Structure formats: structure tokens, C-alpha cells
């Protein structure tokens, strides 16, 4: 979720460096103010995870934070709202209805309520020293449509009603089994109405997730490949529900296994031993026993890690542990989900934080009469290549508001993406001339633009390509 666009340094790291340089010039005089800006800059985006019961919400949360901290099972397990945030050491606490916060044990299977009365707990907080949580705070919620109606009520209360001490959500991941029911659509509509605009300025992003993709449409022993069928179902839902930012298939099991490092070399070797096995024997291994060469307990462990889908289809991708991990990452849907979150949530949120920081620094410089060299440093940052992404975001927002169907909108959206390459430029051979030719084209577009928004977008795109052409001379 933190990959920078091609040829750009990370925006946040550049902002941190600017704060360091300003602090060095101000000395103790500005230490408190700079610390306040630094804290605001580091404020993570907040992503809520919700959906119907038994759709794998907590398993997906574990994969997003790269740690097995959310309790998971085939039964309904999440009875309380749980907020996962960055912190060291790893620990958990319960926020009570009284306002008191008490520490609770954090076990390998999640927070343990112990003697604390569940009815007196408002929500839980879990702090994990995971790199992903430096960018996002994740809120795991009880499933909707729960047999325990109080659990569903907690989710609706937190996400649709009273906000309480938790931060409001910048985005929602909503998991379903097969299709959005009327009450699902109603929940999403009320969520968007409750939370207003998202980090990019438009409606708060809501990403629909077709859960258990590895068991979709009859499962892995059916004739159709289930993940491919889940992708088709997701595409159809996206067409039917344009109010959703995206609809993607996910397998929480595969994602959790690959992201939490649960897979061992011995697991890969055991999977390799199954390459020539009869599929009927594999399908009914629980009754017939696994194929010769693989112990029953090893086969059960393998199935628990990658499911029947991984056992059937992963045998073609187990030449090495790295090959299998890459395949699991892609087929789990996590790769596409993290790209979507980067483009719709974390990237725009980072841009907003940096824009606010620059504006705040300049305001502070004027009101507190900071030295001229400090003001020049701050002002020059706005025009530096490292901060050019702010210009891209501003041009995109302006063009979307005036001409949402304009062809330059797609180009600006492409520039946001870490894996986007403009036409005539190949990732295998990123020739500088390709960038410069395109930059010249967009400069001409700016000169003949019919609106100010179009002209600004074209100029910003041209400069983006110039900046990338400099990176192309010495590709990483």
C-alpha cells in the first residue's frame, strides 16, 4: 500500500525531510510547532472492514496488518468493534462504556477479554508494530445479519451513528458472499451519507469484496476455476453498482497465509509431492487418506493454510517458496486490493496531509515571523519534483468537477498508480525520449485547451512526464 508512483520519492518521506530542515533552521524556537506538524502528517487513514457474518473479515484484517491478531474461525468470532493501530510493544486494551481504558492480554489468537465484562466494553484497541499500520488504522467489526443482534447493532452504531473516541472512517471494505442484498446496499448508502467525502475529495471510497473467492461457484473441485468465476462476479457487481469505488474478489485465507509468513519450506515440499496425485484422491483425502509420501497431519496443515483451492491449483506453482508465495498473493486478490487502497485511500490521504502541512507551515512562518530563509525553503518545496504529486491531485480534482468524462482524467488517474506506464514507454526499456515526446504532446494540448481546468491538467501531466524522464535515465 505504500509503493510510490514510478520515478517519485515517497511524498511523506519528502515532507518529513522538509520538517527536519525547517526544524534545523528554527532550533528550539520552533520545536513544539514542528512536532505538531509531524504528528498531523503521520496520522494514518482509517479503513473500516464490515459485511455479513462469516465472510472472512477478521482473516482479511490479519492479512492487511501482516500479523495474526484478529480472532478467526468458521464460527462468528468478532463480537466487539476492534481498532488495530500502530504501536510498540504489541498490546491490547479495552475501552469501557464508563470511559475508562484498561489493559487486557494479547494472545497469539487475539485480545483476551478475560475478567472484563463484555457488556461493559465499548470497543477494543490492539496496537501492533506492523509497517502497514503506519499508513492505516483498521477497524474490524462484528458481522451484519448476526444471530447475536447486539453484535450487528454495535457495527451500525459505530459506522452509521455515534462516532465516539474512535476516528471516522476514510474508507469502507464491505465483504459479501455472492451478491449485494437490499440491506447491504442500504448499509453502504447510509455509510457514505454519514461519512461525507473521502481523502480524494469525492464520496468516501467503498470497496466491495466478493469473499471466499477460492471457494466461489462450487469450489475448487468444480469444473470452473473459482477465483476466475469470482472475478467475473465482481465485474458484474461493479457494473450494477457504480456507487462502489471498486468490486474485487478476495480470499482471506490465502491472503492471511502469505502475508503472515505461515507457510514453511516443508509445506512447499509437501505440496510438490502432490503434483502427480489423482484429484479425486485429493478431494476426498479426509476419508481416503492423503496420497503416499505425505503424512495425514502434514496434509491437514497444508489444507488449513491454503485450502483445497491451493492444494489443487498451487501444485503448478510450487517450484520454490517464493514462486508459491507470489502466486498466493496474486490469486488471493490482496495485490489488487492493496493497489485499490493506494489509489483511492492511502495515496490521496497522504497528499491531503502533506498539502495541509505545507499550508500550515507557511501560515506559521508568517504569523510567527520565521526567518526569510525558512519561508523560502517552504515555498520552494511546493515547486520541487518531490511534491509534484500534490499538483497532480489538485489538477485531477479540478478536472473531475468540471469535466468528469475528459480523457485527461484517465491520464491523471494513471499517474497515481505505481505500476502505470504511459503509452510509448515500456517498463522493460523506459526510454527518456518516450517521456519527452509525450510531454511535448501535452504541452501542445495545454496551449489549445478550451478550459482552464483542461489547460492546468495538461501542463501538470507534461511536468509529470518531464520528472519521470529524469528517473528514466537511471532506472532503479
Do residues 28 and 94 both lie within one domain?
A: no
Pick from 201, 223, 251: which residue ends a domain?
Answer: 251
* Arithmetic mean of pLDDT, 289-307: 94
Q: Are residues 234 and 284 in the same domain?
A: no
Cell of 123: 470497543
Checking if the pLDDT of 250 tops 50, the result is yes
**What is the total count of domains within the chain?**
3
| Cα distance from N-terminal residue to C-terminal residue, the chain | 19
- The answer on 467 and 400 residing in a single domain is yes
The residue segments making up the domain with residue 375 are: 11-41+335-473
Higher pLDDT, 463 or 155: 463
| Same domain? 402 vs 466 | yes
Asked if residue 402 and residue 389 are part of one domain, the reply reads yes
Within a domain: 5: no
The predicted pLDDT at position 8 comes to: 47
Where does a domain end: 224, 251, 278? 251
pLDDT tens column, 163-183: 544 457 899 999 998 888 888
Last-in-domain residue among 273, 302, 332: 332
Residue 245 sits in the same domain as residue 268 = no
Choice between 191 and 266, residue whose per-residue pLDDT is larger: 266
Same structural domain, 316 and 357: no
Domain shared by 408 and 298, yes or no: no
- How much is the mean pLDDT over the chain? 86
Whole-number pLDDT of residue 405: 92
Residue 273: pLDDT band by 50, 70, 90 thresholds? very high
Helices 296-313 + 265-273 axis angle, to 10: 70
Q: Does the residue 3 lie in any domain?
A: no
Looking at residue 40, what is its pLDDT? 94
**Claim to verify: residue 404 and residue 417 sit in the same structural domain:** yes
Contact 280, 298 (CB under 8 A): no
Comparing 24-38, 139-153, 218-232, the range with the smallest average pLDDT is 139-153
Residue 6 lies in a domain: no
Output the domain CATH number for residue 49.
3.40.50
Quick check: bond before 89 cis, omega within 30? yes
Range with the poorest average pLDDT among 129-133, 351-355, 414-418: 414-418
Please, are residues 166 and 124 in contact by the beta-carbon 8 Å criterion?
A: no
Q: How much is the pLDDT for 79?
A: 74
Residues 261 and 246 in one domain: no
Looking at the structure, tell me whether residues 64 and 207 fall in a common domain: yes
The Cα 213–Cα 234 span in angstroms is 10
Q: Is 289 a domain residue? A: yes
| Interaxial angle between packed helices 372-381 and 347-367, expressed in degrees from 0 to 180 and rounded to the nearest 10 | 160
Shared domain for 219 and 307, answered yes or no, is: no
- Could you tell me whether strands 106-107 and 110-111 are parallel, antiparallel, or unpaired per DSSP bridges? antiparallel
Amino acid at each position: 500500500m505504500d509503493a510510490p508512483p514510478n520515478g517519485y520519492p515517497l511524498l511523506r518521506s519528502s515532507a518529513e525531510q522538509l520538517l527536519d530542515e525547517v526544524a534545523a533552521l528554527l532550533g528550539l524556537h520552533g520545536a513544539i510547532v514542528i512536532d505538531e506538524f509531524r504528528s498531523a502528517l503521520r496520522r494514518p487513514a482509517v479503513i473500516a472492514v464490515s459485511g455479513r457474518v462469516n465472510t472472512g473479515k477478521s482473516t482479511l484484517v490479519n492479512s492487511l496488518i501482516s500479523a495474526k491478531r484478529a480472532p478467526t474461525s468458521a464460527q462468528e468470532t468478532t463480537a466487539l468493534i476492534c481498532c488495530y493501530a500502530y504501536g510498540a510493544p504489541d498490546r491490547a486494551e479495552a475501552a469501557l462504556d464508563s470511559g475508562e481504558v484498561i489493559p487486557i492480554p494479547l494472545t497469539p489468537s487475539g485480545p483476551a477479554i478475560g475478567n472484563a465484562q463484555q457488556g461493559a466494553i465499548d470497543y477494543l484497541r490492539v496496537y501492533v508494530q506492523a509497517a502497514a499500520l503506519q499508513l492505516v488504522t483498521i477497524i474490524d467489526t462484528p458481522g451484519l445479519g448476526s444471530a447475536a443482534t447486539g453484535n450487528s447493532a454495535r457495527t451500525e452504531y459505530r459506522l452509521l451513528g455515534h462516532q465516539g473516541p474512535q476516528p471516522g472512517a476514510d474508507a469502507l471494505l464491505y465483504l459479501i458472499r455472492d451478491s449485494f442484498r437490499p440491506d447491504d446496499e442500504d448499509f453502504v448508502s447510509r455509510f457514505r451519507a454519514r461519512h461525507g467525502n473521502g481523502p480524494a475529495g469525492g464520496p468516501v471510497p467503498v470497496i466491495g469484496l466478493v469473499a471466499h473467492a477460492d471457494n466461489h461457484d462450487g469450489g475448487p473441485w468444480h469444473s470452473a476455476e473459482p477465483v476466475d468465476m469470482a472475478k467475473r462476479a465482481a465485474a458484474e457487481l461493479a457494473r450494477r453498482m457504480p456507487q462502489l469505488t471498486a468490486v474485487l474478489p478476495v480470499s482471506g485465507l490465502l491472503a492471511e497465509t502469505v502475508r503472515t509468513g505461515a507457510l514453511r519450506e516443508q509445506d512447499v515440499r509437501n505440496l510438490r509431492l502432490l503434483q502427480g496425485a489423482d484429484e479425486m484422491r485429493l478431494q476426498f483425502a479426509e476419508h481416503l487418506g492423503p496420497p503416499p509420501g505425505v503424512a495425514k497431519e502434514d496434509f491437514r496443515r497444508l489444507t488449513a493454510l491454503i485450502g483445497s483451492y491451493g492444494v489443487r491449483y498451487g501444485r503448478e506453482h510450487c517450484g520454490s517458496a517464493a514462486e508459491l508465495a507470489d502466486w498466493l498473493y496474486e490469486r488471493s486478490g490482496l495485490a489488487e486490493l492493496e493497489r485499490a487502497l493506494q489509489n483511492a485511500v492511502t495515496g490521496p490521504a497522504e497528499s491531503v496531509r502533506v498539502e495541509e502541512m505545507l499550508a500550515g507551515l507557511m501560515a506559521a512562518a508568517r504569523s510567527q515571523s520565521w526567518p526569510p530563509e525558512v519561508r523560502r525553503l517552504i515555498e520552494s518545496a511546493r515547486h520541487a519534483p518531490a511534491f509534484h504529486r500534490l499538483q497532480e491531485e489538485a489538477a485531477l480534482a479540478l478536472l473531475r468537477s468540471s469535466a468528469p468524462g475528459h480523457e485527461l482524467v484517465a491520464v491523471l488517474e494513471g499517474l497515481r498508480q505505481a505500476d502505470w506506464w504511459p503509452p510509448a514507454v515500456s517498463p522493460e526499456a523506459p526510454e527518456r525520449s518516450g517521456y519527452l515526446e509525450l510531454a511535448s504532446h501535452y504541452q501542445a494540448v495545454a496551449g489549445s485547451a478550451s478550459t482552464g481546468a483542461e489547460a492546468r491538467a495538461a501542463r501538470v501531466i507534461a511536468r509529470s512526464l518531464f520528472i519521470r524522464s529524469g528517473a528514466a535515465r537511471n532506472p532503479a
